Amino acid sequence: MGKIKKKGASGQAKNFITRTQAVRKLQISLPDFRRLCIFKGIYPREPRNKKKASKTATPSTTFYYTRDIQYLLHEPLLAKFREQKALSKKIARSLGRGEVGDAARLEKTFAPKITLDHIIKERYPTFIDALRDLDDALSLLFLFANLPSTTTVPPKTIARCQRLCHEFQHYLITTNSLRKSFLSIKGIYYQATVQGQDIMWLVPYRFVQRVTGDVDFRIMGTFVEFYTTLLSFVNFRLYTSIGLVYPPKFDAKRDEGGAELGAFTLEGRKMDAQKAIEPEQPNGSVDKASTDIQAKVDTILEKVQLNKEQDVHITDAQEENNDAIDTFEATGPEADILPQPELSGDEAGSLFVPFTFFISREAPRPPLEFLLRAFGCKRIGWDSVLGEGAFTHDEADTRITHQIVDRPPLSESALPPLPSNPTEGTEATPRIRPGTRVPGRTYVQPQWIWDCVNEGKLLRPDLYAPGATLPPHLSPWVKPSTGGYDPRAPLEEQEEEGEAQRIAEEEGFESEGEESEEEVDMAKNLLADNDEDVSEEESVDGGMDVADSEDDSEEDDEDEIMVDKFAGADDEPEEASSGDEDEEETARTQHQRELEAEAAGLPFSSAVGAEASEKDSKKKKKGPLAKKHASKKKKEEEELERQRMMMSRKKRKLFDKMQYSNKKRDEEAEKLRRKRRKLEEELKK
């Protein structure tokens, strides 16, 4: 006789444990259990059969792996949680007795310090693992960096998130690791390539955030505590890998003045690159230091120009040894589009090098400054109201080559007056009238920066002039597929042969049908009058005109069919065959209605037949191109059906799914092409 198995000792009941049982086994409270699971990366699991996994009669909702809970028994943080719980009891006892001094002393002296260093090393044994898990960390830390301080979100947490995020941005600026960015409804997406790993995160727009009560900030605060430790480890490793001192020097006064990225000073082997990032003079005055910097920049630009001229004369043998990234071109028009390689750090770092930008007050300064610095721009100016750290605050500076404006151009009468001079005792900053244009300067909208970054080259600035209709801002991660709609490509290259003429014919027939509605109403009224006369005659004859009406309708149908046959004799055989099928279908439906009327004992009115035939003719009224397109589609469907019959059942299902998705994609692409065609026609008018 075999052993009798005890219930709950094997199978899913042994592999899974409920949350209540796990809390009792660890002997901690539920909030501490949640916090510990977040730190260790342990999440609830879903068993295949909840009845078998549950050891009780009541249904349980949350299960964990038993081995995960067994692993938590040896966690050093459990002792810290118990110490913290015991200390909280002592503090509560002291406050109950009115001993406030003792309670403050206990909290200051005996509060346990919780460190997560050992957990970071356990969860990420290699540095590449930490980089792969950095997407969620950056998104959450950038979110908390933009939140207002409340009771649930203390200002210390916000300040630490801001500092870690700025340090990570400085690394991307120094190494030119940023690759793409996209403006979406949720916020601004960024993608950087760090040591071969693509990292993407989301930064919310800087609007006034309303913190609601339906968000559990305790759970999010636990994630922030873990992610701040992770990002500090990552920043330390990244800075030391390129020879920079971590943490960088932080100027609190400049940070209070709104300098943000300008409040940090990097030290180490990359200090020369950081000197180019440091601002010149906040008031924009041209002194000896500024002239020295300008002279250095001019020499750098001359060297860059000489290098470009030398690159033109490079021989073919030298080009083979060049480190430039090759591009893959399609071999034919119907070939697959190969994914192109990303930009290199040198190419990204030289995109905006020779330019000096000025950011207007209405444009978002933080994301623009970050993008420009990450792609090589060393001289960025903005108005003094946007904060410190600018290359110049003078909008009339002659060194400015590009100005970012996010407002439409105004006429001279609508321009606001020149701002009043500042009070005595302060330095007067030269100002120009708002809305005016400085000759020799390129004015662009902010989208030009993002599109240039995503394309990896400088685009035409006249397409992004203030007040101009901007090109579509598309996601750089969505590549156009074969057969799909591409907003960037011309419409003539995407549409099928004769598609525009066919749609124009269909729209013309629809407009003709709309114009003839009054005539249809008049015909209906005349037919109704005739029906009244016919009903009077039927009442006199005893109501036996059903057969006569059938014969008349049949004769009319035969005459119409014969006329249609003779009229379509000169057409192509395909069109004639399709016309015959339509007429046969019309006669069949009319005959069916006559039979139904006879069975019901009602006279079949000629008006009903006329109205039905009129509706059918409206629906089936097509031009020659539409008929040709329909016949072509029909042939293709027949060919696909023949191929489908030769497949196995499994392949047939896959083929049907593929055909369904292709048909849906083609319909959506045709719909978008129609919309674009209408818009282009309206613009031409």
pLDDT tens, residue by residue, 635-644: 888 888 888 8
Range ranked top by mean pLDDT from 103-117, 233-247, 408-422, 661-675: 233-247
- Report pLDDT digits (tens) over 553-579: 444 444 444 444 444 444 444 444 445
Taking the C-alpha atoms of residue 451 and residue 20, their distance in angstroms, rounded to an integer, is 53
- What percentage of the chain reaches a pLDDT higher than 90? 34
pLDDT of residue 144: 94
CB 71: neighbour CB atoms within 10 A?
A: 12
CATH number of 286-312+346-410+435-478: 3.40.50.10190
Dmax over CA atoms of the chain, in Å, equals: 117
pLDDT of residue 617: 52
Of residues 395, 369, 144, 120, the one with CA closest to residue 258 = 369
CA-based R_g, the chain, Å: 38
- Report pLDDT digits (tens) over 144-177: 999 998 888 999 999 999 999 999 999 999 999 9
Angstrom CA distances, 233 to 38, 196, 539, stand at 18, 18, 100
- Report pLDDT digits (tens) over 513-525: 444 454 445 545 5
Taking the C-alpha atoms of residue 192 and residue 234, their distance in angstroms, rounded to an integer, is 14
Q: Does residue 382 contact residue 359 with C-beta atoms inside 8 Å?
A: yes
- Phi, psi (rounded to 5 degrees) for 547: -65, -40
The residue among 347 and 620 whose pLDDT is bigger is 347
> How many CA atoms does the CB half-sphere of 416 hold within 13 Å?
7
Contacts of 133 by beta carbon, 8 Å cutoff, 6+ apart: 124, 230
279 pLDDT higher than 90: no
Q: How confident is the model at residue 550 (pLDDT cuts 50, 70, 90)?
A: very low
Taking the C-alpha atoms of residue 244 and residue 332, their distance in angstroms, rounded to an integer, is 49
Taking the C-alpha atoms of residue 96 and residue 304, their distance in angstroms, rounded to an integer, is 74
SS3 category, 667: helix
H-state helical runs in 176-270 = 217-241, 252-256
528: its two tokens: 């109704």
pLDDT of residue 412: 67
- The counts of H helices and E strands in the chain are 27, 11
Pick the range with the lowest mean pLDDT from 300-314, 437-451, 481-495, 566-580. Answer: 566-580
- Report pLDDT digits (tens) over 170-183: 999 999 999 999 99
Taking the C-alpha atoms of residue 250 and residue 252, their distance in angstroms, rounded to an integer, is 6
Q: Does residue 21 contact residue 50 with C-beta atoms inside 8 Å?
A: no
658 pLDDT higher than 90: no
Mean pLDDT of 576-601: 69
pLDDT of residue 605: 55
140 pLDDT higher than 50: yes
CB 242: neighbour CB atoms within 10 A?
A: 13
Eight-state DSSP code of residue 386: G
The domain segmentation of the chain, as residue ranges, is 12-75, 79-109, 117-277, 286-312+346-410+435-478, 637-684
Mean pLDDT of 631-636: 81
Taking the C-alpha atoms of residue 307 and residue 313, their distance in angstroms, rounded to an integer, is 10
By CB neighbour count within 10 A (0-12 exposed, 13-18 middle, 19+ buried), where does 520 fall? middle
